[in-house]
Chain A
Amino acid sequence: MAEDLVLDTAIRDWVLIPLSVVMVLIGILRYFVSKLMLSSQVPDPKIVKEGQVIVRARNLRAAANFIPPKSFRSRRVYFSNEENGLLFVPKGQAQNPQAQMFSDPNMAMDMMKKNLSMIIPQTLTFAWVNFFFSGFVAAKIPFPLTQRFRSMLQNGIDLSSVDVSYVSSRSWYFLNLFGLRGLFSLILGEENATDDTQRMMQMSGFGFDPSKSLGAEKDGLDILQHEWALPKFEHRAEAVLKKLVR
């Protein structure tokens, strides 16, 4: 049924705005708490070295055409040599990064702290929203939706005849959760602890996996064809000088 429900403006005053304000405040609170709980991480020398090796290998791939072919080849051998090349990781040794992460107590603690600082406020806020702000229509989404979203967006409303565009406050909570990220990066500067979505994406791909990236760099280097760009430069220099002298 496509009739327009008239929503009380009191809903806007007492539901939508306070919810957003509360979420912003909680975000700021989490930011400061995370700053207090920041433990200085001693970087592992092996990981630092591997990071630098990767940067150097990437530079080699990017600018390979600027150095003479002999130097490029010697560098390629240096990197991908079977015995002691920098990028070569023998198959057995490729450590399972998950196991490594759990065995290292510092890293495990850090991950737990980060997870907790994300999960607890989210859970609490969600429970609060459900308790106080359920059972009524909070807002109308401006575009039409299919019926499948009904269960997700209309959880407190038990009327099946209401249009799916009329949603409950739970969906407003989710909207704020993902949308306030931009606002936070404006207020708090980049690199704030409230960047949940980024963290959630990171959780699925388990952190820094050095052996895989080394292998990827090695493959990239192996297939690279060296085409020395310098002879072209002679012609270009000629053209430049011709223009200059004219």
Chain B
Amino acid sequence: MVSKTEETQLNRLENQVDNGGGGAWEYLCLVRKLKARRSEKVLKYGLSILNDPEKRSALGPEEWTLYEQVAIAAMDCQCLDVAKDCIKALQKKFPESKRVGRLNGMLLEAKGSWGEAEKAYSSLLEDNPLDQVIHKRRVAMAKAQGNISGAIESLNKYLEIFMADHEAWRELADIYVSLQMYKQAAFCYEELILSQPTVPLYHLAYADVLYTLGGLENLHTAKKYYASTIDLTGGKNTRALFGICLCTSAIAQVSKGRNKEDKESPELHSLAATALEKDYKQRASDKLGLLTSALRSLKT
């Protein structure tokens, strides 16, 4: 995931290049390093460098990495001719390369010829059965074709071998949530929290899933995870603040008959409400009325 400083640096470079200052090559390198997805800009500036033979020869051996980057960006923007040209140039230079074979497979995918792409990927996998990127492309293909259960199956098989790949876990969690299989999604989010416990995003998503599952224990756990998100983000995460209020009211509703007092954090709910009101006053004061009425209805 991109950190904040890197993101600001990226945006600054982007503005600089947009407004005519130089630095296109640094921008492209940074995008490649951070694996950010800014395909239109990459395509525009990459092509401007590649079409200028002077600049191209100034790059030296990095020229081929640029070809690859521009090819992928072109496929993302559906400019398939540009992509085909880049891949042809790469194929001339590296005829037996697995990377170029992978790009060919991606081109077939972009064109929509799923059967051929599948064949290309399987043949690549035969030579190199442990190539992570090709496995992931197959999952993406299954997902794009709408075959979600197939995607889940291949992703599970992938994770059986490469179980430390947290991006794959994240994708799986997304798919499960879209299919409303919340218990499995909760498991995936737990894996994510285990591998990166200080990322508040995963705590928040886990709390959301637990809140959706419902049930008293889950609601208590969800409240705890919303609290940890607030702690990790310094109280600035609006969703977590809302989550606390909703959880508290839901718990109160579920345990209406019993007299179970919340000994752990009696003030959390009111504090969250106050923080929300303060935030809204600062940023969206016209909606403050809506907020106060919503919070009041939650309290009752």
Interface residues, chain A, with chain B CB atoms under 8 Å away: 42-43, 45, 48-49, 52-53, 55-56, 59-60, 62-64, 66-68, 71, 230-231, 233-238, 240-245
Contacts and interface: CB of A to CB of B under 8 A. Distances in A.
A62 B165 CA distance: 17
B292 to A, nearest CB: 15
A64 B197 CA distance: 9
Given A231-B264, A233-B224, A42 B190 contact: no
Contacts of A244: 234-235, 275, 278
27 contacts: A45-B130, A52-B163, A59-B164, A59-B195, A66-B197, A67-B193, A67-B194, A71-B187, A230-B224, A233-B227, A233-B231, A234-B264, A234-B268, A235-B264, A237-B226, A237-B227, A237-B231, A237-B244, A237-B268, A240-B235, A241-B230, A241-B268, A241-B271, A241-B272, A244-B275, A244-B278, A245-B278
Contacts of A56: 163-164, 191, 194-195
Contacts of A231: 224, 264
A60 B227 contact: no
A43 B165 CA distance: 17
A56 to B, nearest CB: 5
B161 interface: yes
A181 B243 CA distance: 56
A245 B130 CA distance: 52
Interface in B171-194: 187, 190-191, 193-194
Contacts of A66: 193-194, 197, 228
A63 B197 contact: yes
B228 A237 contact: yes
Given A230-B228, A241-B268, A241-B272, A45 B161 contact: yes
The B interface, classified by DSSP as helix, strand, loop or mixed, is: helix
A238 B161 contact: no
B271 A63 contact: no
A219 to B, nearest CB: 19
B274 interface: yes
Given A60-B194, A67-B194, A231-B264, A240 B230 contact: yes
Contacts of A67: 190, 193-194
Interface in B195-246: 195, 197, 221, 223-228, 230-231, 234-235, 244
A242 B193 CA distance: 26
Contacts of B9: none
Contacts of A241: 230, 235, 268, 271-272, 274-275
Given A42-B128, A233-B231, A238 B268 contact: yes
A234 B224 CA distance: 6
B271 A49 contact: no
- Chain B CB count within 10 A is highest, among A42, A45, A230, for A230
Ranked 4 nearest A-B pairs via Cβ: A237-B227, A55-B164, A233-B228, A230-B224
Contacts of A68: 221
B265 interface: yes
Contacts of A45: 129-130, 161
B96 interface: no
Given A66-B197, A234-B264, A241-B271, A49 B161 contact: yes
Nearest to A60: B194
A233 B235 CA distance: 12
Interface in B272-286: 272, 274-275, 278
Contact of B162 (A52, A230, A235): A52
B161 A245 contact: no
Contacts of A230: 221, 224-225, 227-228
A48 B130 contact: yes
B227 A236 contact: yes
Contact of B271 (A42, A59, A238): A238
B235 A234 contact: no
A63 B161 contact: no
Contacts of A234: 223-224, 227, 264-265, 268
Given A66-B197, A241-B230, A241-B235, A71 B190 contact: yes
B261 interface: no
Nearest to B218: A68
A52 B163 CA distance: 6
B54 interface: no
A21 to B, nearest CB: 30
B167 interface: no
A233 B163 CA distance: 28
- Chain B CB count within 10 A is highest, among A52, A62, A234, for A234
